[in-house]
């Protein structure tokens, strides 16, 4: 296969678009783990639910932009209910309890979707406004993938401003280091954890919506994504938001480039990348020691 500079740059942009979805998934998982120390094995199922909620809303409204607003709200609400009624009673009992609970919850969500929508899967088309390509100077590039990169960057900026520049964000950061101090100061830590779990699951649901036109929609779609999300979290460093962003983009680029040269090794490439990173930095790129203790 003859390679050109324009082809390599196009593939790089494809990797960034794929990485944008990975980033949303990884950031959501890292938020929940880094601030709540909850290993959320239902994260892939929330991603899948987001795709199916998008299918349902689009069938009713025919409006992709309505899906963009309503899907994260719906999946985030499901996350709020999960944290309040299922996960919260398990705080302080060790990592195993919420891990096993969310593992079981993932099966419940998958089987529920199978009963409602069937097992055959659903088709979700790229919205008409975002179809086609645009000349980026190095060749044509799909408009939808440009939209993915821009939306991801906007959401990450908004999340950074929320965590770094708002009073609630200050409380979140303080609570991740010492929740006992917040309780002494009279701050309701339970509400903070509820919010974080809701944001994390909302990001997973949004990622499911955005991936639907690229990957299709089926009840099993959350399984591979859960593995990818944990790989991204490990590469970036457990609980590190910056690490999740860098690792998500890096994984997207590695998968895209591997697909260009050796398509059959694309899935294997992310595990090779993880192994390489862990050899050099056992805690991940931006991880800190002691988080799992």
User: Please, which residues have CB within 8 angstroms of residue 178's CB and are 6 or more apart in sequence?
Assistant: none
pLDDT band at 168 (very low <50, low <70, confident <90, very high): confident
State residue 272's pLDDT score: 96
Mean pLDDT of 249-263: 93
pLDDT on residue 137: 78
pLDDT digits (tens, 9 = 90+) for 52-98: 999 999 999 999 999 999 999 999 999 999 999 999 999 888 889 99
For 93, other C-beta atoms within 10 Å of its C-beta total 9
- Assigned architecture for domain 5-119+141-280: Orthogonal Bundle (1.10)
Q: What are phi and psi of 86, to 5 degrees?
A: -115, -50
Per-residue pLDDT tens digits for 277-288: 999 999 999 876
Q: In angstroms, how far apart are the furthest CA atoms of the chain?
A: 65
Helix (H, G, I), strand (E, B) or coil at 49: helix
Q: For 1-60, how does the pLDDT look when each residue is reduced to its tens digit (9 = 90+)?
A: 456 778 888 899 999 999 999 999 999 998 898 788 899 999 999 999 999 999 999 999
Q: What is the pTM of this model?
A: 0.94
* DSSP secondary structure code for residue 85 in this structure: I
Q: For the chain, what are the domain ranges?
A: 5-119+141-280
Nearest residue to 212 via CA among 96, 59, 109: 59
- Residue 62 DSSP one-character state: -
């Amino acid at each position: 296969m003859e390679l050109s500079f324009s082809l390599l740059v196009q593939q790089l942009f494809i990797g960034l678009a794929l990485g944008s979805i990975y980033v949303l998934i990884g950031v959501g998982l890292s938020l929940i783990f880094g601030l709540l120390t909850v290993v959320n094995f239902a994260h892939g199922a929330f991603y899948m639910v987001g795709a199916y909620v998008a299918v349902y809303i689009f069938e009713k409204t025919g409006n992709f932009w309505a899906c963009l607003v309503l899907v994260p709200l719906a999946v985030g609400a499901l996350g709020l209910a999960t944290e309040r009624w299922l996960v919260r009673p398990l705080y302080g009992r060790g990592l195993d309890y919420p891990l096993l609970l969310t593992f079981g919850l993932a099966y419940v969500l998958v089987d529920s979707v199978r009963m409602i929508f069937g097992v055959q899967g659903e088709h979700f088309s790229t919205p008409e406004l975002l179809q086609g390509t645009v000349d980026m100077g190095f060749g044509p590039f799909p408009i939808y993938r440009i939209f993915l990169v821009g939306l991801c960057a906007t959401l990450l900026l908004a999340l950074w401003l929320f965590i770094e520049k708002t009073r609630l964000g200050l409380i979140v950061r303080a609570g991740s280091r010492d929740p006992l101090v917040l309780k002494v100061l009279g701050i309701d830590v339970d509400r903070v954890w509820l919010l974080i779990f809701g944001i994390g699951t909302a990001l997973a649901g949004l990622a499911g919506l955005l991936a639907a036109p690229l990957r299709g929609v089926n009840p099993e779609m959350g399984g591979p994504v859960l593995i990818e999300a944990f790989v991204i979290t490990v590469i970036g460093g457990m609980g590190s938001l910056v690490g999740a962003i860098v690792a998500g983009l890096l994984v997207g680029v590695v998968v895209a480039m591997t697909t260009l040269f050796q398509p059959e090794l694309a899935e294997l490439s992310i595990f090779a990348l993880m192994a390489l990173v862990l050899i050099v930095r056992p805690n991940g790129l931006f991880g800190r020691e002691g988080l799992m203790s």
